[in-house]
Chain A
Amino acid sequence: MSDSDKEGTSTGMEGLPGAFGDSHPGFMEFQFKPVYMKDKKAGMMLPYNKKFVGDKSSGSIHGGIITLLMDTAGGMCVMATVNQMMPIATLDLRMDYLRPTKKGMDITAEVECYELTQNVAFVRGFAYEGEGDKKEAVAHMTAAFMLNTKGPNFGKASRFSEVNGGEK
């Protein structure tokens, strides 16, 4: 990933990688790392961790954590596309597990928002392992997100840690 890609974040969205990264209780736990956000596309990385293993015999990570990564990357991608940290909700999400992951390999999600309507954003993407020539798709995701759902607007705070309260 070149430096220019990392600087693709649009104006007013500087808080977004922070919100999806180390200031979020869940994502801090899962160690998701936003990589880039640019032109309706977003990338997010999941470092290999023994805690996420699904099959002890091969050391490949569980599909569930890839789903979690793809859902999060999809959400980040939608916010990047609408250029606002509006409240969104996943309507549905389909995962296809193309091949088991290899032990010790980091997973990178590359997601794009291919259609945006008034209320719904359609997102698709692949999860890859390896880099360069050895880059292999391990999973494919398609999802639909509802825009402007109930809840406070994320845009008022640049980091989740600055937020407290909100409706229950």
Chain B
Amino acid sequence: MSRAFDFLLDEKNTNELVSSIPYADYIGMKIQQNINGEIIFVLPFQEKHVGNPMIRAIHGGVLASFMECSATMMVIGTVSHDHLPKCVNQTTEYLKSAKDVDTYARVKVNKAGRRIVAASVSCWQQDENTPVAISHSRFMVGG
């Protein structure tokens, strides 16, 4: 496990990281570890996340922004400490409607280049094997 990765294992760091991005703080996301010590991003359900009040589904845009924030933080934690990574683009695939419960995300950094980092995020609710959404994003890192 790299030194950079340890950064996200410290709760003080993760709290600081979330509060350093006002929008991440605003949607109320958190960084946790599962029993295997893997980094899991959590979006505890809030009323303002609801996009369709009739079926009480979480708004797709909220999910997309949660996944973007998760990926940004994973990139900060593992690749780029010094600069805030800039998202170049993001593709989000919606697989099923997200209910009014907590949402979890796992980020995989697929390629950490010198200038571009590619990451994919899988986002689920009750069962990790049936994700509600998947996204692929690219970040510009450094200067």
Task: List residues of chain A with CB under 8 Å of any chain B CB.
Answer: 24-26, 29-30, 50-57, 61-65, 67-72, 87, 89-97, 100, 149-152, 154, 160, 163, 165-168
Contact = CB atoms under 8 A, between A and B. Distances in A.
A69 B51 CA distance: 12
A151 B55 contact: yes
A24 B53 contact: yes
Interface of B: 20-24, 26-27, 47-56, 59-62, 64-66, 68-69, 84, 86-94, 97, 99
A72 B88 contact: no
Chain B binding site: helix, strand, loop or mixed by DSSP? mixed
Among B21, B49, B66, B92, the one with the most A-chain Cβ atoms within 10 Å of its Cβ is B92
Given A51-B23, A94-B90, A97-B89, A63 B68 contact: yes
Prevailing SS type, chain A contact patch: mixed
7 contacts: A51-B22, A52-B22, A62-B22, A64-B27, A160-B53, A166-B56, A168-B56
Contacts of B47: 25-26
B94 A89 contact: yes
Contact of A93 (B49, B55, B60, B69): B60
A95 B21 contact: no
A63 B92 CA distance: 13
B98 to A, nearest CB: 11
